[in-house]
Amino acid sequence: MTASARVYLDYNASAPMRPEVIEACAQAMLLAGNPSSVHAEGRSARDAIEAARDQVARLVEGASSRVIFTSGGTEAANTVLSSALHRAGEPGAERLLVGAVEHPCVRDGHRFPIDAVDTIPVDPDGVGDLGWLRDRLSASSRGRTLVSLQVANNETGVLQPVSEASALVHAGGGILHTDAVQAAGKVPLSMAELGADALTLSAHKLAGPKGIGAIVLSEGVEIEAGLLRGGGHERGRRAGTENLVGIVGFGAAAEIARRDLDREAARIAQLRAGLESELRRIAPDAVIFAVTRPRLPNTVAFAVPGCSAETALIALDLDGIAVSSGAACSSGKVRASRVMTAMGVDPALGAGALRLSLGWKSSDEDVRRFATAFEKLTQSLYKRRRAQAA
C-alpha cells in the first residue's frame, strides 16, 4: 500500500507540514548569515526570525517581544516549570501544582523537589478540580506557587478551565503556566483571556516543522536562562544560534493556522461528528470519553469493551489507517494511560482507549475509510464474543 493511499488520523501526535510551510523553510535555507551577525546577510536572517516571532505572537494574541524560541514544547515546558519563572522583582516559586492529566513534559519535566509538588485532581471527564485548587492555594503558608494547567488534553481533547484557574492563582499571588501545544491552531487563544503568565507551544502540532517550539510570557513576568546558557540569544533567555529554518516554518504555520482557524474548526468539527456517528453505528457499546464536555473540534477518544488498543492499532495500521492509542507509547510498547487512570476509567476499558485526531488534510473519504476498517475489526471482535458465549 502506498503512502498516498493511507488515512492519517493522528494529528495530535504530529500534523503533516503544509506546502506553504515547506516553501517558507526552503527559502529560509537560502539565508546564509548568522542572525547575530551585523552584516547584511546576518540582518536578513534576523529579519526573518523577527517576522516569524510576530506571527507566533499573533496566534496567541501575545507580544512578540515576549516570545522565546526553543527546541520544542518539551524544552519550553521544562524551562518554565522551575524557579527561573518569576514576576519581575520577585523570587521564583517554591511549590508547583500540576494537573493530573498534563503531558509528560509537564508532569515529569519540572525542576521542583518532589515534596514541593502536588497534583490537581480531575473529574471523570478529565476536567481539573477548581475547588481543590482553591483550597490548596489558600494554604498560603506553603509558599509562592506556580500552577500548570493545560488548555487542552492531548488524549481526550478536553478543554480545561484555564481562565477560571488563573483568577484563583492570581488572587493568591501565584503564577500560572498553560501548555497550549494541543490547542494552538485548533481553538482561539489569547494570553489575556486565558490569564496566562507563561504559555508554551510546539510548531509540529499545527503543521509546522518538528524541533521548534516557543515560550510566550505575559508582561511583568520574567524567566532566567534555562537549560541552555552561554550566549545572549533570545534576549538572554535561551543561548544558542537560533534554528532559523524551524523558526521561519513555525511562523508560517502560525500565520496560516490563525488565518484559517474559524473555517477549519467548523469543517473539522463536522468530520468529527461523522466519526462519532459511525462509531455509534458500528459499535453501540463504544464509550466516547468526555463527549458532553467542551473539547477540541478534531479529537475523539473512545474504547470498545473487550478490544485492546494494541490489537486495534495493528489491525487498523494493516488496513492503512494511522491512529493512536489513548495509552502512552514508548519504544513501540503500549502502557496504561495516566490520563485514563486519573479520570477513574476502569482499567480494562482504559486499556482499549484509542484516539482519532483530524487536521487540515482530513476529508469525508478518510471518515469513510476508517469506518470500513473499524467495522471489519469490530465484526471480528463480536464474532469471538458470540463464539465464547456459545
Taking the CA atoms of the chain, what radius of gyration do you get in angstroms? 22
Please tell me the chain's helix, strand, coil percentages from 3-state DSSP, rounded to the nearest 5: 45, 15, 40
Strand order in the sheet with 175-179: 67-70, 213-217, 198-202, 175-179, 145-148, 95-99, 117-120
| Residue from 25, 105, 307, 329 carrying the catalytic annotation | 329
Which single residue is written with the C-alpha cell 516549570? 81
CA dist 95 and 115 (Å) reads 9
Whether 348 and 308 have beta carbons less than 8 Å apart is answered as: no
Residue 146: name the closest of 188, 102, 185, 189 by CA.
102
Question: Beta strand 333-335 with 328-330: parallel, antiparallel or unpaired?
Answer: antiparallel
In contact, 355 and 301? CB cutoff 8 Å: yes
Q: How far apart are CA 219 and CA 21, in angstroms?
A: 30
Calculate the dihedral angle through the C-alpha atoms of 112, 118, 124, 129, rounding to the nearest 10 degrees.
-110
Residue type, 46: R
Catalytic (active site) residue 329: yes
- Residue 248 grid coordinates: 521561519
Sign of CA dihedral 39, 230, 95, 211: positive
Q: Residues 205, 14: contact at Cβ < 8 Å?
A: yes
Q: Which residues are catalytic?
A: 329
